[in-house]
């Protein structure tokens, strides 16, 4: 009986639904036909004008009529070319209007004779075939109704397949998370290197899912969530995929922006649906990438106040509090902006662990390079230890890109294996861009760039706490530099002393000092150096508490630690102004010290600049050989031996010279005759230096 009742109810629902569709189709068809007729009538009214029958006859007698058409009880009149009809109110009707009057029927039998008499030869009564009333009714009403019903039924079927039925618009609230079953991500912890601490925390969570008994026996509870925090490119998303590959449980992956839609309330609905689906297949893992898109704090300081985002965040907080941890649902999230997340989201009980995914150290970079080169055919001269040392400060994404660029470079040069030179050259492509082969600069500009870069390098070589110089080049690159000096540390450093910061500032300003000392001029090539030196000086005064005037008073707070690392000043305006003056004095003092250092070593400055001018690209080892009085052509570069011609790689002879050759300064320090002249152009030299804090 119950089955029969259910069948009857289903049939009644289908019949009622079909009746509703028919009613809608009939109503829309009638409305469409009415609108169509009204539109035709309005169009005809706008392009015609009715006149009296007597006026029509007078126009015929006056020779103003060119042709006449008899249609549907009307006479349509076409005036002769150039005639403009004017009515009693003074309104004019030109050739774009059609004049018409109503027929008089049998009351005027002599109309045709009148038309012939006054020369109107073009008159006609066109034949129009009559359509069957039934066919006309079917075209006007039945066919549109059938088409509308078909469109409605197709729309309902599509929405029903998406889970919405007749109310299918509600399916927009369904979660669109990607579900990975067991190891379908193709990534495991063997594919992740350089993040041992983060892997250890995640391995414990996975072991908890597989063997909950040994943890619950001692009274431990399963963590509800873990937040992955780190700079872009450090491998947060890769770690989450590795968790999916290792866990052997369903893995739901969604981006924070995937909860946000144009409809209010959709985000909260998707959060509910996501946790409902996860509860069905528990134990499982939910991964929310870029959670700051929905987890932003609800105050107004960081752009809060959005109702839709707040509803989504409130629902996420409720769901993370509501599910039973014994079911084995773990929430992973990743962000590089933890400072903007809501405090309620970060508390224990929601995200019990905060896992920092930091930049890898020397051992981590070596392990990362080994992972990314497993499928790369390597030459015998490759020394990954040297590459790891050269890539200080790089994240995992940088190293992966370096290895891939090296493989592409090897193919371009027709080799079947990647050698050491490919890896080093690709690293410089990643940080500085490719060489610009079509740049045209003058000889004078080339000389200024050489002295500018050697000024950086020599200041670093003559200071105790400076990072050693690795490479100096005056070849323009696509990242905007006409040349750069590459500094790489010999050992890992995690702290910077006051002497280290002052040394770095002097090194940055030494390029401008070399321009002033040798050419008695200043160029815009020092713009990037001055920006970085000012940032270091401001940090020394405002953040690090190393200023004698302000002592250990913090004048600012860090913002976006894992992005640009900037900060905002939190002090009075007068204090801010005093801090700016302290920064100016500090920069001027470092500038004077760097200039004095170059004056003391002017002879070496000229020698190294002359060698760089000739080779266009030299290494730090070659510069140190000149300082020590050795042959610079016999030095290697991070494991790349020098060639017979004394170069590390073919000289980049891509700089086009457009002026007469100018002799270089002699070893004794004599300036060229025009050294003090201002160059024709000002080089844009964004000096690239890597610093390790």
- Per-residue pLDDT of 23-67, as tens digits, reads 877 777 777 777 777 676 666 665 566 676 777 777 777 777 777
- 310: tokens are 């707040």
> What pLDDT shows up at residue 317?
85
Task: Select the highest-mean-pLDDT range: 8-12, 129-133, 218-222.
Answer: 218-222
Which tens digit of pLDDT belongs to each residue from 490-541? 666 778 888 989 999 999 999 999 999 999 999 888 888 899 999 899 888 8
Average of pLDDT values for 194-204?
79
pLDDT at 171 over 80: no
pLDDT at 371 over 70: yes
Q: Read out DSSP for 121-189?
A: -EEE----PPPPHHHHHIIIIIHHHHHHHHHHHHHHHHHHHTT-GGGGGGGGGS---EEE-TTTT---G
Question: Considering only 403-407, 559-563, 682-686, which range has the smallest mean pLDDT?
Answer: 682-686
Confidence of residue 139 (pLDDT cuts 50, 70, 90): confident
CA angle 460, 463, 491 (to 5 degrees): 70
Place of tokens 């492509």: 429
pLDDT at 8 over 70: no
What distance in Å separates the CA atoms of residue 384 and residue 373, rounded to the nearest whole number? 10
Residue 76 annotated to the active site: no
Which tens digit of pLDDT belongs to each residue from 277-318? 888 887 888 888 888 888 888 765 555 456 677 888 888 888
pLDDT at 443 over 80: yes
What distance in Å separates the CA atoms of residue 22 and residue 456, rounded to the nearest whole number? 83
Average of pLDDT values for 326-332?
78
DSSP state of 265: T
What distance in Å separates the CA atoms of residue 34 and residue 16, rounded to the nearest whole number? 27
The residue ranking higher by pLDDT, 377 or 475, is 377
Which tens digit of pLDDT belongs to each residue from 546-602? 888 888 887 877 666 666 666 677 777 888 888 889 999 999 999 999 999 999 999
Q: Give me the catalytic one of 428, 453, 515, 593.
A: 453
> What pLDDT shows up at residue 684?
37
Nearest CA to 482 out of 654, 661, 304, 260 is that of 654
Task: Select the highest-mean-pLDDT range: 261-275, 393-407, 640-654.
Answer: 393-407
pTM of the model: 0.61
Which tens digit of pLDDT belongs to each residue from 213-236? 788 788 887 788 888 888 888 888
> What pLDDT shows up at residue 47?
59
């Amino acid at each position: 009986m119950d089955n029969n009742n259910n069948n009857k109810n289903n049939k009644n629902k289908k019949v009622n639904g079909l009746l509703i569709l028919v009613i809608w189709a009939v109503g829309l068809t009638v409305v469409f036909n009415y609108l169509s007729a009204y539109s035709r009538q309005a169009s005809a009214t706008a392009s015609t004008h009715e006149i009296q029958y007597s006026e029509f006859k007078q126009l015929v007698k006056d020779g103003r009529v060119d042709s006449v058409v008899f249609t549907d009880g009307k006479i349509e009149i076409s005036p002769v070319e150039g005639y403009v009809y004017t009515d009693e109110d003074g309104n004019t009707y030109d050739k774009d209007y059609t004049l018409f009057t109503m027929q008089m029927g049998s009351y005027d039998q002599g109309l045709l004779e009148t038309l012939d008499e006054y020369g109107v030869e073009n008159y006609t009564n066109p034949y129009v075939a009559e359509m069957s009333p039934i066919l006309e009714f079917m075209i006007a009403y039945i066919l549109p109704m059938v088409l509308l019903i078909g469109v409605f039924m197709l729309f309902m079927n599509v929405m029903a397949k998406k889970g919405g039925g007749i109310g299918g618009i509600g399916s927009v609230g369904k979660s669109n998370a990607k579900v990975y079953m067991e190891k379908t991500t193709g990534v495991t912890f063997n594919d992740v290197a350089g993040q041992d601490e983060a892997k250890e925390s995640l391995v414990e969570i996975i072991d908890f899912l597989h063997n909950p008994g040994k943890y619950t026996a001692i009274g431990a509870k399963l963590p509800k969530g873990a937040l992955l925090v780190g700079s872009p490119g450090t491998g947060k998303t890769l770690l989450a995929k590795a968790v999916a590959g290792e866990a052997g449980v369903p893995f739901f992956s969604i981006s924070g922006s995937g909860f946000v839609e144009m409809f209010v309330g959709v985000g909260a609905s998707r959060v509910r649906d996501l946790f409902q689906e996860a509860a069905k297949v528990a134990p499982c893992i939910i991964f929310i990438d870029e959670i700051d898109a929905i987890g932003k704090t609800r105050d107004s300081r960081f752009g809060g106040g959005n109702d839709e985002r707040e509803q989504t965040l409130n629902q996420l907080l409720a769901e993370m509090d509501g599910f039973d941890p014994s079911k084995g649902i773990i929430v992973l999230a990743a962000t590089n902006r933890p400072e903007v997340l809501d405090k309620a989201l970060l508390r224990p009980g929601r995200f019990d662990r905060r896992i920092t995914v930091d930049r890898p150290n020397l051992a981590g970079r070596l392990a990362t390079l080994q992972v990314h080169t497993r499928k790369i055919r390597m030459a015998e001269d490759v020394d990954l230890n040297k590459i790891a040392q050269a890539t200080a400060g790089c994240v995992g994404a940088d190293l992966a890109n370096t290895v891939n660029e090296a493989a592409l470079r090897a193919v371009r040069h027709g080799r079947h294996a990647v050698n050491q030179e490919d890896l080093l050259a690709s690293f410089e492509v990643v940080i500085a861009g490719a060489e610009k082969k079509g740049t045209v600069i003058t000889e004078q500009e080339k000389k200024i760039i050489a002295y500018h870069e050697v000024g950086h390098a020599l200041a670093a070589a003559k200071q105790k706490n400076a990072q050693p110089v690795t490479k100096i080049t005056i070849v323009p690159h696509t990242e905007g530099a006409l040349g750069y000096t590459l500094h790489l540390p010999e050992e890992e450093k995690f702290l910077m002393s006051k002497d280290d910061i002052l040394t770095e500032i002097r090194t940055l300003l030494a390029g401008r000092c070399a321009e002033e000392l040798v050419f008695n001029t200043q160029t815009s090539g020092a713009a990037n150096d001055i920006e970085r030196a000012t940032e270091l000086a401001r940090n020394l005064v405002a953040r690090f508490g190393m200023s004698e005037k302000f002592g250990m008073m913090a004048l600012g707070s860090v913002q976006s630690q894992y992005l640009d690392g900037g900060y905002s000043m939190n002090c009075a305006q007068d204090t801010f102004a005093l801090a700016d003056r302290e920064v100016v004095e500090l920069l001027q003092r470092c500038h004077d010290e760097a200039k004095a250092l170059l004056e003391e070593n002017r002879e070496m400055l000229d020698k190294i600049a002359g060698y760089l001018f000739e080779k266009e690209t030299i290494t730090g080892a070659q510069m140190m050989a000149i300082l020590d009085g050795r042959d610079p052509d016999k030095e290697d570069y991070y494991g790349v031996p020098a060639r017979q011609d004394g170069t590390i790689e073919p000289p980049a002879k891509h700089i086009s010279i457009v002026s007469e050759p100018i002799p270089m300064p002699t070893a004794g320090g004599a300036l060229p005759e025009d050294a003090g002249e201002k160059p024709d152009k000002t080089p844009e030299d964004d000096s690239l230096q890597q610093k390790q804090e």
